[in-house]
Structure 1
Amino acid sequence: MNHAEGLEVSADGLSVVLTSVSSDSHTWNLVVLQLVLEELGHQVHNLGACVPDELMISECLRLRPDLIVVSSVNGHGFHDGLRLIRQVRSRAELAGTPMVIGGKLGIAGPGCDRSRAQLTAAGYGAVFEDGTGLTAFQSYVGRLAIGQAS
């Protein structure tokens, strides 16, 4: 079953957990994404930078968000993101929760279709690479909020 199909959006929008990967100490990207999501009418639980995988998973189990957003700036998003999504998807309670990743996912720069395909195959609903702007992300979140995103 597509989790988004059964999603009931409250009057306050989606409940979103926003996090970085465990190796990423950057915070400006998280602040920007939090503001974007809040401007779209969603409730954001920003876990901050350098979030250990276990903490992110425990917070998602506690909060049961409608969406998990992972942002990376340090270039290790691909490897850390793969490890993280596998752990999230191994939890039955979170297996259907929409999860996206974006930012600087590798040190080679944007445009690696193979990396994007691997992240999607592992369970991310969408991959937003550095330099592509926020329009696609905002569109995805909007579709999710009305139950049309996968």
Structure 2
Amino acid sequence: MKPKALLTTIPSDAHNWNLIYIQLLMEENGAEVINLGACTAYEEIESACLQVLPDFIVVSTVNGHGFIEGRELIMRIREIPQMKNIPVYLGGKLSTDQAESDKYALELEAAGYTRVYCENKDEKAFVAELRKFAGKGKESFKPGIL
């Protein structure tokens, strides 16, 4: 059985291309993906968490507000009892000031994200995480649609 993944973005992020790319990458690496689309309200994400009961959650953002809204989102997700120990990943543009991204990534991980991938870094590491969920272990990197 494929692991279920909930894919979303932050409420202010209207970009769809990142979600489509990540969905394809996740599916190609063994996940069943429920894509909530762009500009998803916190309440919709919370509701989907309870309805889907995903094996993991991926938040993708490209508008530069990932740090601010991502922090609020992880606090809300972690308040849901069933989501306390579910892996949650955030990737993308965390700030309009790229120099702060690494610092923000650490703060977001301290706030409750399992791992934060900023500014298109570490795609191989993210794919390795996906493959663990799919039970594929250390097979070679599958680059998706790059």
Alignment TM-score, normalising by the size of structure 2: 0.87
Which runs of no fewer than 5 residues in structure 1 stay unpaired? 1-9
Equivalence for 1:5: none
Distance 1:37 1:23, change over 3 A: same
Aligned-pair identity in percent equals 40
Distance verdict in 2 for CA 1:110–1:42, change over 3 Å = farther
The residue number in structure 2 matching 1:69 is: 58
In the alignment, structure 2 segments of 5+ residues that lack a partner are 138-146
Partners of 2:120 and 2:6 in 1: CA distance = 22
> Which among 120, 125, 128 is matched to residue 139 of structure 1?
128
Aligned ranges 1:87-126 → 2 under 5 Å: 87-109=76-98, 112-126=101-115
Distance 1:71 1:59 in 2: 16
Shift of 1:141: 1.8
User: What is the CA–CA distance in structure 1 between the aligned matches of 2:108 and 2:133, rounded to whole Å?
Assistant: 19
Large movers: runs of 4+ above 6 Å: none
What displacement does 1:131 show?
A: 2.8
Distance of 2:95 and 2:120 partners within structure 1: 13
- For 1:39-74, what per-residue CA distance to the aligned partner results, in whole angstroms no more than 9, with x for missing partners? 112100000000000100101100000010000000
Cα pair 1:19 1:51 within 8 Å, conserved: yes
Superposition deviation, residue 133 in structure 1 = 5.1
| CA 1:111–1:139: 2 relative to 1, 3 Å | farther
Aligned length: 137
Per-residue CA deviation, residues 14-56 of structure 1 (Å, 9 max, x unaligned), is 1000001000000000000000011112100000000000100
